[in-house]
Structure 1
Amino acid sequence: MSIALALSLVHAGAKGNTRSQIASAICKGANDDQLKKHYSFLASAIVKPKNGVEVNLANKAFIDKNFTIKDSYLKAISYAYKASAQNIDISDPAEAAEVMNEFVKTATKGKIEEIIDKDNISPDAVMFLINALYLKADWKEEFKQSATRDRKFYIKEGVSKSIPFMSVKAKNRDYASDDQVQVLSLPYKDTDYRFNIFLPKEKFGLEKVVKGLTAEKVQGLLGKLEDTLLNIEIPKMKLEKELNLKETLENIGLEDMFGNEADFGEISAAQLKVDEKGTTAAAATFVEIVLRSMMVPSHDPIDFVADHPFLFALTYKNHPLFIGVFSN
């Protein structure tokens, strides 16, 4: 989501092939107005006050003090994406980096302290577009810490590592499956937000699953979720990743962005932590407990044991905010 929002800021000021390539990458099939409305809606919706979920989203354009940006562009990103603008002295890369890193650190509640190093600031740079997204969410139904214990996670054939797994036995949770994958969907206290795990049925079949997992298939699986009796074991997670997105974006069709006429340096940093109480994520309370009537199960619980590489997606109303792979 953070990457897509940053690209939507670029899209607002781009022309020609660059504009159409960005649109195809982040909102395929949509026209310019639909793209703007989609990301504007998400940017507004996810930051509204809610129960048990805290979200902070910040968009900002940092502009070299010697460069003039059209007012029409600044007004467009302000109106659609609530983005602000600030002048900086890019000829002083140390100061420029400090200002931008402080913005990201504040927006992500200190989870991401640095997005750019002074040595990575080109003397020819004229503007930086930064999106920072922070989310902290409590599970609707927490995992008991007393039920967390170490077990093997199988990284690849012949390689495993003992890590802490959270578990719950014989409880009803939202679940779906097809011939390739099991899907577990865990709601947060605000149930519009969910943590979805796509677990390959084949132990080391993640690559095959990911290749076949189109947006339509993902939405189809999420649409099939049913309240199901499960035995669940999933790893506690803390993931941190910094990516240079140039190659990735070129691979999905954004070739003109990195041509001779304009050089877009793209770096994304993300952190995600999942534990017994909930999830804290950056790219960058307690509520009613529903008591279920106790019934004698008519069948044995289905085992959902995420002890091998899987895909996850943290979603808002099935819109992905964070997507990743847990593999090691």
Structure 2
Amino acid sequence: MLRHTPSDVSLVMSPISVIYALIMVHAGSKGTTMTEINWAISRESSTMQGYYAVQRYYSELLDQISNSTNGVKSRIINRYFLNEKNDVLPNYEQDLRTAYKTKIERVDFEDANKAAEVANDFIAETTEGKIRRMINEEIVQKKFGFFVNANYFTAKWKFKFDKSSNSKGTFYSSEGKKREVIYMSVRNQEKLHAEDDDVQVLSLRYLDTSYALNIFLPKNGTGLRDFRARLTGERVQSLLSKLEKTNITIPIPKMKIEVDFNLEEVMKRMGVIEAFSNNADLSDITRKLRLKVSAPAHRAVIEIDEDGTTAAAATYSRGLKSKSVIVGGRRKFDADHPFLFILTKNNIPLFMGQFV
């Protein structure tokens, strides 16, 4: 998914938030519309066996990552805001409720401002105020309904960074531009680390060690674009499987990134095309009207500091050279040039992005 976004700006997104928004469409789709969504989110076939495999996997995943334990608060909540003048098929409503814990909230869309306020209050409450005023009147007007997925995560590091070790330093962009950032540092501390010919990986654990922030640092200072182009889920999992405890010195930037996306082009590049067209088959949502997806959008924010990480996301549908250096017999992970990061739960990506 990240491959389909710009490579020259800092950004963050929640693939899991986007996927759950797609899944709520998937649950009411048929034919080619369903096949394309199936393929985009799971590479499964269009068979009913494939459909139920997708449904089962993401239903179980929702239970795994919606919890609060050991210094971690994580939640994903789905909601379908439905124009109260319309209705959905009973089987569709049951599927959303039982498989994805999705409530259908019937709202008066005639008062578009009030309807938008109801949806924005839901997003703000779920994300603990990190995301506000995402839905406007235009999104509500003349709509059958709209899906919202809101995702929130906050956690403390297993080993915090000492603020007294912070320092200002230079960060080098892919274009050779320089800017000053604040680096958090540890010296010769045991961390999980891996590398191959192109990239180093540093995995920073939270108090609940099933969660991790994994930083993928290209060895070439201008190599993020090439690394992204070749990035696959299989390569990410292969690198994470090679993590080993290593004594390492780390300077990494403090980060705060907030980004808005129009997801239509991203989804089309993923192969979801018919859902946006007049040929869309969403007849398992309703048979009274011909529906299609319009103007899907996504907003995500992440803050990484000395204590831990806070991240939130909401989706609605409508040259420099660096290598793994060893200084004085000690390895150094020097994140002073563009890198990619993936926040995971048991290696499942919850948030991902890049700092450039």
Name the TM tier (shorter chain).
Answer: over 0.9
2:135 aligns with one of 116, 119, 127: 116
1:270 counterpart residue number = 300
Query: Residues of 2 paired with 1:23 and 1:89: CA distance?
Result: 32
| Pairs within 5 Å for 1:88-237 | 88-123=107-142, 125-237=143-255
Residues 1:25 and 2:40 are matched in the alignment: yes
Bigger relative contact order (CA 8 A; separation at least 6)? 2
Q: CA 1:158–1:220 in 2, change beyond 3 Å: closer, same or farther? A: closer
Match of 1:254, SS state, is: coil
Conservation of the 8 A alpha-carbon contact between 1:181 and 1:201: yes
Cα deviation, residue 178, structure 1: 0.3
TM-score by structure 1 length?
Answer: 0.93
Match of 1:153, SS state, is: strand
Cα deviation, residue 117, structure 1: 1.5
Query: Residues of 1 paired with 2:334 and 2:224: CA distance?
Result: 15
1:16 counterpart residue number = 31
Cα deviation, residue 20, structure 1: 1.1
Conservation of the 8 A alpha-carbon contact between 1:115 and 1:267: no
Unaligned stretches of 5+ in structure 2? 1-15, 280-291, 315-325
Pick which of 113-122 and 8-17 moved more: 113-122
Cα deviation, residue 240, structure 1: 0.2
Cα deviation, residue 36, structure 1: 1.0
Conservation of the 8 A alpha-carbon contact between 2:110 and 2:141: no
2:257 aligns with one of 239, 246, 249: 239
Q: Which amino acid aligns with 1:283?
A: A
1:87 aligns with one of 106, 125, 143: 106
Query: Residues of 1 paired with 2:354 and 2:175: CA distance?
Result: 17
Query: Residues of 2 paired with 1:317 and 1:28: CA distance?
Result: 21
Query: Residues of 2 paired with 1:188 and 1:238: CA distance?
Result: 18
1:35 counterpart residue number = 54
Query: Residues of 2 paired with 1:260 and 1:12: CA distance?
Result: 18
TM-score by structure 2 length?
Answer: 0.86
Cα deviation, residue 26, structure 1: 1.1
Match of 2:69, SS state, is: coil
Cα deviation, residue 326, structure 1: 1.0
Cα deviation, residue 169, structure 1: 0.6
Cα deviation, residue 300, structure 1: 1.6
1:290 counterpart residue number = none
Q: Which amino acid aligns with 2:331?
A: I
2:20 counterpart residue number = 5
Match of 1:49, SS state, is: strand
Query: Residues of 2 paired with 1:65 and 1:119: CA distance?
Result: 17
Query: Residues of 2 paired with 1:215 and 1:317: CA distance?
Result: 14
* Residues 130-181 of structure 1 deviation map (CA, whole Å, 9 limit, x = unaligned): 1101010100000000011111111233311001010001111000000010
Cα deviation, residue 319, structure 1: 0.4
Residues 1:300 and 2:329 are matched in the alignment: yes
Q: Which amino acid aligns with 2:246?
A: T
Give the ranges of 4+ consecutive aligned residues of structure 1 lying more than 6 Å apart after TM superposition.
none
1:71 aligns with one of 75, 85, 90: 90
1:54 aligns with one of 53, 56, 73: 73
Unaligned stretches of 5+ in structure 1? 285-296
Q: Which amino acid aligns with 2:28?
A: G
How many aligned positions are there? 313
Cα deviation, residue 120, structure 1: 3.5
Query: Residues of 2 paired with 1:325 and 1:29: CA distance?
Result: 28
2:347 counterpart residue number = 318
